[in-house]
Structure 1
Amino acid sequence: MLKKPALIDIGANLTNHRFHTDLDAVISRAKQAGVEHIIVTGTSERASHEAHALTQTYPGYLSCTAGVHPHEAKNWNVQCARAIEKLAASDTVLAVGECGLDYNRMFSSEAQQRACFEAQLQLAVRLQKTVFLHERDAHEDFFALLRQYRPQLKGAVVHCFTGNTEELRAYLDLDCHIGITGWICDERRGDDLRKAVRYLSRDKLMIETDAPFLLPRNLPVRPQDGRNEPMHLPVVLEAIASILRISPVTLAQQVRQNTEQFFGVTTAS
């Protein structure tokens, strides 16, 4: 039997309430699927604390990020900033974020989002941590801030990229890495992404599930509750490999190397 490629999920929301009752089983299924490391996303002060706690519960297998998602930007204050900075200094916290701008649902105002985003960019520069970025319907403002700080940043990955070729090339021009999710498996919404990924430098590609969200639509059997899990990461890999017309094993090796170098994590393979 062929050994499964060793994969790293760079973004899973394992602190989400939908994982509270069976996280051990979720992690076990991920390991069986060849996912050898998971980076848990911090999306708020509370979620970042919880993500960090999970890295202590599952040492070596889980790492995390610490940051405030644009939806939570209204809660950014001095106390929150201090908490995120303290967390970000931990060895198991690999990046500042998830941070950025999201003008789609506007749970926080544009001004609150920009202030929160810029403060986290400044924190990442100060600590020389990579940044884990989020952008939706805010490309112009997001790109302007990112371009300003990118020369000082250790590294930047645009998490859950769903944009078009023009946006992709703009990020690549800033030497950003790109995180691809199950969005690429969505025949209704993923056409722009499938076109763009053909222009993605393979040394800038990383993959993620964004679990419990973005369940790949091409699963042969979809869970009734619609919950995504890290065990579905190989489906994302295979979809990208099919578009690029290369072997999933070859792509897995490249993606794992990219991820290990970017985040400083290692897998058993």
Structure 2
Amino acid sequence: MQLIDIGANLTHDSFDPDRDAVMARARDAGVTRMVVTGASREHSPLALKLAKQHPGELFATAGVHPHHASEYTAECDAELRELHAHSEVVAVGECGLDYFRDFSPRPAQRRAFELQLQIAVDTRKPLFLHQRDAHADFMAMMHNFDGRLGPAVVHCFTGTRAELFDYLDRDWYIGITGWLCDERRGQHLRELVRHIPADRLLIETDAPYLLPRTVRPAPSHRRNEPMYLAHIVAELARDRGEDVAVTAANSAAAATAFFRLPPR
């Protein structure tokens, strides 16, 4: 299998002591390419730097997560636009709305999201989206940009059936993480993933977050790593009633198309 992790927070400081070993373990598990998530003014440049250090293996996004929306100034917007001039940056985001935590005020979230949607229009790059407990406002803001945006992926989908079909009706891609493996919160996803078309299904770890709860033996440190993408795709294939090789190949093809990654 050749897997593509479309969302790994490899710039997180928990990887500082052993980042090279983490990447080696990912390769050994069949993860051939990864997209490093840029989710703040601080970490988006670090994601690009990491991608430049590993050409053809790592790529980056550049954006500001709604948790950090309060930092989205005119200077921040200019910095993001400069990052997007680099070919290694393959998507705008992580951006969107998060009313579950409200770490930034909601008006600030909406402003930062709108400005990043405009970057996607101007750069013609795909969108790496975040939405939690903000579906109505999220859809309304995306609707305001109808006809001007390219492809979009709703990263780390954990929502309802109605939300899923709202996204699929817009031909958006869906990112599935180890949340699928959480018997407390993700059981509903076991049925929903059957409805995602193969050419719209992307897989991701969101490492170091969301360690799949069904990994055995569970690591004592509880840190998620890209190597566990193989575990996620195996569970996903089972829930979809597919051979794991089929799910892996289809998700890699979808990721390559979505991010316009170079052929290998």
Compute the TM-score of the two structures, normalised by the length of structure 2.
0.98
Q: Which moved more, 1:140-149 or 1:239-248?
A: 140-149
The alpha carbon displacement at 1:60 in A equals 1.5
- Equivalence for 2:64: 68
Percent sequence identity is 48
The counterpart of 1:163, out of the listed 134, 159, 166, is: 159
Give the distance between the partners of 2:162 and 2:85, measured in 1 at CA: 35
Specify the alignment match of 1:128 in structure 2: 124
Query: Among residues 203, 207, 227, which one is paired with 1:211 in the alignment?
Result: 207
Structure 2: stretches of 5+ with no match in the other structure: none
Q: Is contact 2:181–2:187 with CA below 8 Å preserved after alignment?
A: no
Partner of residue 147, structure 1: 143
Partner of 2:77: 81
Q: How does 1:187-266 map to 2 (within 5 A)?
A: 187-266=183-262
* 8 A Cα contact 2:97 2:109, kept in partner: yes
Identify the residue that residue 7 of structure 1 maps to in structure 2: 3
Q: How far off is 1:266 after superposition?
A: 4.2
Whole-Å separation in 2 of the counterparts to 1:206 and 1:119: 25
Q: CA separation in 2, counterparts of 1:133 and 1:85?
A: 17
- The code of the aligned residue for 1:208 comes to E
Q: What is the rounded CA distance, in whole Å, between the counterparts of 1:87 and 1:54 in structure 2?
A: 13
1:104 pairs with one of 97, 100, 116: 100
Using the alignment, how far apart are the partners of 2:39 and 2:115 within structure 1?
15
**1:36 maps to 2:3:** no
Question: Which residue identity does 1:256 align to in structure 2?
Answer: A
Structure 2 CA distance, aligned partners of 1:123 and 1:7?
29
Letter in 2 for 1:110: R
Q: Give the CA deviation at 1:139.
A: 0.9
CA shift at 1:192, angstroms? 2.1
1:48 equivalent in alignment to 2:44: yes
SS at match of 1:134: strand
Q: Structure 1: any 5+ residue segments left out of the alignment? A: none
TM-score normalised by L of structure 1: 0.96
Report whether the alignment pairs 1:116 with 2:112.
Answer: yes
Letter in 2 for 1:242: R
How far the C-alpha of 1:122 sits from its partner, in A, is: 0.8
State yes or no: 1:17 paired with 2:13. Answer: yes
1:4-42 CA-partner distances (Å, limit 9, x unpaired):
x10000000001110011000000000000000000000
CA deviation map 1:128-168 (0-9, x unaligned): 01010001111111111112224211110000000121110
Residue type of the alignment partner of 2:52 = Q
Deviation at 1:267, TM superposition (A): 6.0
Cα deviation digits, residues 36-86 of structure 1 (max 9, x gap): 000000011110000000011112111000000000000000100000011
Is contact 2:198-2:250 (8 Å) kept? yes
Moved more, 240-249 or 189-198: 189-198
- The Cα offsets for residues 175-222 of structure 1, whole Å up to 9 and x where unpaired, read as 100000000011111022222212111110000000000000001111
RMSD: 1.0
What is the aligned residue count? 264
